Structure 1
Amino acid sequence: MTVGVLCAVQGSAESIIVQAVERSGGRLSVTRRCADLTELLAAAEAGLGRLAVVSGDLDLLDREAIDLLHRAGVRVVGIGDDARPWVGERLAALGADLVAAAPQDEESAGSVVRDALAILGSTSDDERPGPVRPDDATVRLPAQGLVVAVWGPTGAPGRTTVAVNVAAELAAAGRRTLLVDADTYGGCVAQVVGMLDEAPGLAAAARAASQGTLDLLSLARLTPSIAPDLRVLSGISRADRWPELPSSSLDAVWSVARGLAEWTVIDCGFCLEEDEVLSYDTRAPRRNAATLSALEAADVVLVVGTGDPVGIQRLVRGLGELTDLGLGATRVVLVNRVRASVAGAHPADAVGQALARYAGVTDAHLVPEDRSAVDTALLEARTLREAAPGSPVRRALAGVAARVDAVLVAALAAEPVRA
């Protein structure tokens, strides 16, 4: 079967590549020669090709554009420039399936075509390989760091308080930790830890990832340290800025974060819904993309609920929603603000029995109510470890952090020894 090729290559290399494609023995055929990115995306969404050959300096080409091509079932071959090696590096960072130098003659163009055919033949339509360089057989080792997403249903169960203090406890245990605010509805990590709202934070990291320029150094510059081994990547300052956090860019942010920190703790928004109307428009931004991206990337999902009848009901439904969406295979359930005034004379027993009966959860962490300690920490913009080290809330969250950290210990123990 002949595979359609969409060509959006600039300069003299275009005609060389088109001729090489037509000499592929009927396996490839150029179905559209695109003048710009808009035409390329339209052709891809119309199903006119399964392979796109794109110049690295094509105007407006970014990670979101390549992600749209992938979602349309199109593999991407990026054409770099020997005189500007950074172009090829950028294409690989943006997610191109193959990065090749601009061909100068028939032989080099034929090599690009053969590599493209190899990619098309090596994966099914439902799978997409990572960036490949034809002349680079180096195997990249996986990153060391792990990701924990702190999520909970609507109703302000205390996600941010849990995220901030679990991150602080992990850092105090000697783990390099990155705290990220990915709540696009009411993110407040910066205020809780005493940072300025004007810090560029996650939106700046997403922009850099979109352009393929995000690396460990640039992410480190965006994440100031607020304590030994604890960095913070602040969130968006207004809820209406959520389109600045597309999932394709955030996926790259989480990947780089794994190299920067042993634990990346992400404070997520509550909503998991996908707009039914927008779901038919692959180019529309998704309102809850940040939360869904974090949950999909997470090695551990810390699910937070409150210890009252309404909170337990929402927690049980939230756990079912995570299961329905296939998110959070490894979960740690935490019930916050457990108190006798709303759960009866024996609140821990009541909450434990309810979770066991309705959600099948028998090992939830119960955090007692201690409003005074939490208020003191919030007023002073410090963590509970700093403001109220003897608080029962702090001790309970330290236990949660220890359980989460055990996942990293197990992962390191299972990691094969590398030469």
Structure 2
Amino acid sequence: MSMRIAVHVGGERGSEVAAEAQRHGHIVTRVSGHPELVAAFAERLVDVAIVAGDAALSVDLLAPADATGVRMVVLASTVAQRRRLTRLGLHEVVDARASWSVIEAALGRAPGNSAEPRSFSAVTIAVWGPHGAPGRTSVAISLAAELAMLDRTVVLIDADTHAASVAPALGLADGAPGFAVACRLARSGELTSAEVTRVSELAGAGDAEFRVLTGIPHSSRWTEVHPENVEAVLAECRGEADVVVVDVGASLERNEGGAARDAAAIAVLAAADVVVAVAAADPLGLARFVRIVPHVRDLIGGSLITVVNRVRASALGARPREQAASALARFAGIHGAVMIPDDRPAFDVAMLEAAPLATVAPRSAARLALRDLALSLLPPRADHAPRRRDRRRVLTPGRR
């Protein structure tokens, strides 16, 4: 099907894209600036705009495109550009060096006149915790379920390259790890929202339903998860979901001489809007946490929220909350940590039933604290309209 395409990409690359579009039967117009492009929108001279993802691309250009129903496909040359464009609500973002077949596929999946206004609220939440099993995965699963129950579309990613555990915790098959498959598709430029849906699994139930990209079943497969591909997967997930929750491994070591096993976790921490750092509420767990949290602060690109998990008097004394808060303030300069009370029976039921805490123990004190944490992380929405219909449209097809 022939389309009227405006190409706003400079230099030789712009000429290549325009020539390929013409060769495939499209009517092409080269534009040299945003005013010219906006004028073409207003006069309804184009159906699709292919633009460069530079810093000049902003809401000032997206708003008239949305108003006139013009499709927008953006060529991003860096990971930073992809992240910024996804924040702007752009879903059709491809690599600047992508082949014409990849660009044309993006043209075909662009939303067009029936698209809803772009939301600028997508957020990535990384959940990290040091060695010693502080309950990081349980917190990540709980946040995904709670945010889904707050009427947000959610994708949960298991990016732990040492001991992925989201799939067994939720009773999901992990023979074909969704996250590794998504990374491979991103490497070849073939990752789309439809592919994310295809390779992911549904978890939870009812209002607490969310999608999961399961982790690698064997730690030896960590080489399948390259940091640049991780960024691309996050960007694609952010394009379709309100919230992306990522469970990352404890180890954060760098290898300057080549590929590092922990590079995926480091990439996620750098790309996340919020890092939820989980500490175990016992003397050893807090000691481990305060030793490594300065290093975590150096890696993150967003804000840091500390969660102290399984707070109980038997491990910290008669006033466990005060003891944990005092230790964090004294040794790490952390104030206002979120305290999750210990509720081992409730978590045991959740593990036994392979379900989120919110669905098996809704009145648990731990669940209520995690719900409050999810509320504090809730991203603002540009339109305050319910999204239940969106979740069924985006997240239900391809259920496995």
Q: Please report the TM-score for the alignment, with normalisation by the length of structure 2.
A: 0.66
Backbone CA RMSD of aligned residues:
3.2
Counterpart in 2 of 1:71? none
Q: CA deviation at 1:324?
A: 3.0
What SS does the aligned partner of 2:157 have?
strand
Structure 2 match to 1:247: 227
In structure 2, distance between residues paired with 1:261 and 1:129: 19
**Shift of residue 79 of structure 1?**
11
| 1:304 partnered with 2:281 | no
Offset from partner CA, 1:221-271 (integer Å, 9 cap, x none): 112322344111101010000000001111100000001210000000011
Aligned pair in 2 of structure 1 residues 132, 386: CA closer, same or farther (>3 Å)?
A: closer
Residue 293 (structure 1) aligned to one of 267, 273, 284: 267
Of 401, 404, 407, 2:374 maps to: 401
Which structure would you say has the larger RCO, counting Cα contacts within 8 Å and 6 or more residues apart? Answer: 2
Partner of 2:150: 173
2:261 is the alignment partner of 1:319: no
Aligned residue among 333, 343, 346 for 2:306: 333
Q: CA deviation at 1:127?
A: 11
- The residue aligned with 1:28 is none
User: CA offsets, 1:198-223, max 9 Å, x none?
Assistant: 24400110010000000111111112
Amino acid across the alignment from 1:166 = L
Residue 148 of structure 1 aligns to a residue whose secondary structure is: strand
Q: Give 4+ residue runs of structure 1 displaced > 4 Å after superposition.
A: 77-85, 126-133, 141-144
Structure 2 distance, partners of 1:171, 1:358, is: 35
Gaps of 5+ in 2: 1-11, 25-51, 53-77, 83-94, 98-102, 104-117, 384-400
How many Å separate the matches in 2 of 1:164 and 1:209? 25
The equivalent residue for 2:346 is 373
Counterpart secondary structure, 1:350: helix
In structure 2, the residue matched to 1:392 is: 365
* CA distance, structure 2, for counterparts of residue 177 and residue 402 of structure 1: 14
Tell me the number of residue pairs that the alignment of Structure 1 and Structure 2 aligns.
Answer: 290
Could you tell me how far apart the structure 1 residues matched to 2:293 and 2:165 are? Answer: 24
The 10-residue stretch of structure 1 (387-396 or 181-190) with the greater mean CA deviation from structure 2: 387-396
Seq. identity, %: 40
Structure 1 residues 64-114: Cα deviation after superposition (integer angstroms, max 9, x where no partner): xxxxxxxxxxxxx999856986xxxxxxxxxxxxxxxxxxxxxxxxxxxxx
Question: Aligned in 2, Cα 1:285/1:335: closer, same or farther, shift over 3 Å?
Answer: same
Indicate the residue corresponding to 2:134 in structure 1. 157
- Asked if residue 196 in structure 1 is aligned to residue 173 in structure 2, the reply is yes
Q: Does the CA contact (< 8 Å) of 1:220 and 1:260 recur in 2? A: no
Structure 1 unaligned blocks of 5 or more? 1-52, 55-76, 86-114, 116-125, 279-283, 414-419
The 5 A counterparts of 1:87-166 are: 144-166=121-143
With the length of structure 1 as denominator, give the TM-score of the two structures: 0.63
- What code does the residue aligned with 2:145 have? A
